[in-house]
Amino acid sequence: MKFILLVLVGAALVFAQVYVFSDGSGYAVFSHMGFAVYSMDGRLQYVGGAPAYPGPTCIAFYSGAGVSIVTPRGALRAFYPLNFTPTLIASDCRAVVAVNQTAGVYIAPGVRYSFFLPSPPYSVSMLNGTAYVLDMDGDVIVASASGTAVEHIGGYPAGTVASPDCVVASVVRGDTQYFYRVDGGVPQLLATRRAEVGLAYSFAVGPGCRLAYADGRKETAVAVDGPYVIYGTSTGYIEVYYGGQLVYERKVGGPVLSVSSSGLNIAYETPEGVFPLILINETVVSNCGNWSLLREAGTAYSPPSVIEFGNGTRCVLSSNYTASGVVYANYVRQYYVQLSSPHPMAAWLPAGAQLPQPPSVVEGLVELIPLGWQIDGRLLQQTAVEGPLAASAVYRVVPAVNGTLGNGTMLLVKVETPTIVWPQQPAYAVERLYYVTVSPPGNVSGGPGYYPAGSYVTISAGSPQAPPGCRYTFSGWRGVNATAPTATVLVAGPISAAPEFVEECRVQLYTQYGSVVNAPEWAPLGAVLTPSVEPTAVWAPFPFRYVFVGWNINGAISRSFAVSGPVSATAVWVLDPTPLSAIAAALAAASIAVFLASRRRRQGRAALFKFYARYLSVHYQ
């Protein structure tokens, strides 16, 4: 039977149910044992018996001898005696209807009558002095000051609800729940919904006869309060919707069994009890729009620090204050700006801010000079941020280096894309040249200057002027890898070449005898020569023997001399006395021998003389 508890919002209440008075002064909790009235801050006001019915600003309840109508504060407004015990009652705080299983009575100032019920009653509601009794057959008995009438609907009864503007009765037929407006004399179908066979779900009606119902799964209780629909959920939430949009939610613990609201003074029931929840409709006025929101009474509200509008637009809170219950907020509107450049930027900028100029950068050997931003195909040198935008930097491309670098290198940069839109990369060609020079007396074929890298040049050593009797002989190159006096070299870097020479002087040697040996015709300056002659001793003639002793250079005799200029020298020969002395001794000895032999042999003496002559020629060459 729990589903019946959920459908009896605003009906004659037998099981636990909450109801908030229309003036927001308090709420009542109903059960089969009676009712209790509380102020909205949760303080108990008074209790009463059952059956009971909440009117807009009163409670009608059976007190044993009749029906009492009291205010939310407990003050008695009216008492209507009864001669039977009712099972259901209803009141609009002026008129009263009370029914049992077979009959009912209608009581209003100056009017009182009894009427018959064709079927036991299920629920009853009252609006503007007229009672609407939904019986177990699903029909509605209408009782007013002018009498009774029956509106035939049929079906399993699901409850009645009275709003400020209408009364709605609900029945279930098969797997469909029907909602009828019954205060117009003829039942008017307002809505249907699928339901499990034999079951109905909680529903509520608000101003303008606006209908809302719980889905029976997540939503277990519902109330309509002006433009708001309040749901209690099986997951333990109170959810407030405005125009179909969730505007407030709060976790309240266990499943919500029933809920009621008036002026956003909410009372809800969970297995833990009944609790109040007072919401305040806060109005916010700002330069980024006005809105309303719900907050709990006693809590402070601060406007959101950032309001996201999507599409790259937002507002950032600058300041706020409250006056006369209205929150005034000042926001700074910002737009998301994406700048494509060598130093990209993506940031939120205030509306009206000027875009910064693109940065000047050097890319390789070219410089990018900013011309402005391209936005939607247009080049803008200055622009203010008036909305979200994406901009690309536009650059003029010029050589960053064009000419000599001061180290024998020259760069010639030819720009092929004079203007680019980032991230387009600049295109350019680079020609590298190197300075080539040759020290005198050398030369480069095209003259000293810059030559393209990778080219070839011809260098020549030349010939320097030498002193008389001397000459210069090429010995190689300094600063370049070449060996020939005339060479072709690759220009792979700066070239500073110098030919190198060795100074040689003529060497002229003269001799009376023999031949000069170990004597070059030209000798390097500073070289030390030790020339000689062959043979070094000669007979001129026999028995006169001359020996080589050195060279006469400027009056000085030496076997070695240093080349300090042109050399002209004569070999010096000296007579060797040794052979003459030997011959004289030999002759003396021979004479004695011949004399002693008594001159026996003349021819023998001649032979002896020849012997000595041969001896001397062999040993004294």
User: pLDDT grade, residue 616 (50/70/90)?
Assistant: low
* Mean of pLDDT values over 228-247: 94
* Mean of pLDDT values over 109-126: 96
Whether residue 6 is predicted with pLDDT greater than 50 in this model: the reply is: no
In angstroms, the CA 87 to CA 102 distance is: 10
| Structural contact between residues 232 and 219, judged by C-beta atoms closer than 8 angstroms | yes
* Tokens (6 digits) for 396: 């003029």
More confidently predicted of 618 and 409 = 409
For CA atoms 514, 517, 523, 528, give the dihedral sign: negative
The DSSP secondary-structure symbol of 426 reads: P
H-helix segments, 222-369: none
Whether residue 92 is predicted with pLDDT greater than 80 in this model: the reply is: yes
In angstroms, the CA 88 to CA 134 distance is: 11
- Average pLDDT of the chain, as a whole number: 89
* Mean of pLDDT values over 453-470: 93
Whether residue 45 is predicted with pLDDT greater than 90 in this model: the reply is: yes
In angstroms, the CA 167 to CA 171 distance is: 14
User: pLDDT grade, residue 578 (50/70/90)?
Assistant: confident
For CA atoms 313, 317, 322, 323, give the dihedral sign: negative
* The pLDDT of residue 315: 96
Q: Tens digit of pLDDT for each residue in 181-226?
A: 999 999 999 999 988 765 667 899 999 999 999 887 888 899 999 9
Whether residue 122 is predicted with pLDDT greater than 90 in this model: the reply is: yes
Whether residue 460 is predicted with pLDDT greater than 90 in this model: the reply is: yes
* The pLDDT of residue 15: 38
Q: Tens digit of pLDDT for each residue in 353-400?
A: 999 999 999 988 899 999 999 999 999 988 899 999 999 999 999 998
User: pLDDT grade, residue 301 (50/70/90)?
Assistant: confident
* The pLDDT of residue 3: 31
How far is C-alpha 287 from the geometric centre of its chain's CA atoms? 31
* The pLDDT of residue 210: 94
User: pLDDT grade, residue 293 (50/70/90)?
Assistant: confident
In angstroms, the CA 553 to CA 561 distance is: 9
Q: Tens digit of pLDDT for each residue in 543-554?
A: 889 999 999 998
- Provide the whole-model pTM: 0.58
* The pLDDT of residue 615: 55
* The pLDDT of residue 8: 34
Q: Tens digit of pLDDT for each residue in 309-358?
A: 999 999 999 999 988 889 999 999 999 999 999 999 999 999 999 999 99
Backbone torsions φ then ψ of 196, nearest 5 degrees: -65, 145
pLDDT above 90 covers a percentage of the chain that reads 74
Query: How many C-beta neighbours within 10 Å does residue 577 have?
Result: 10
* Mean of pLDDT values over 274-283: 92
pLDDT above 70 covers a percentage of the chain that reads 91
Q: Tens digit of pLDDT for each residue in 493-534?
A: 999 999 999 999 999 999 999 999 998 999 999 999 999 999
Whether residue 148 is predicted with pLDDT greater than 80 in this model: the reply is: yes
Whether residue 589 is predicted with pLDDT greater than 80 in this model: the reply is: no
In angstroms, the CA 489 to CA 481 distance is: 8
- Assign 579 to helix, strand or coil: helix
Among 15-19, 400-404, 598-602, which is the least confidently predicted range? Answer: 598-602
For CA atoms 226, 232, 233, 235, give the dihedral sign: positive
DSSP class per residue in 475-513: EEEESSS--SSEEEEE-SS-EEEEEEEEEEEEEEEE-SS
Q: Tens digit of pLDDT for each residue in 388-447?
A: 999 999 999 999 888 888 889 999 999 999 999 999 999 999 999 999 999 999 999 999
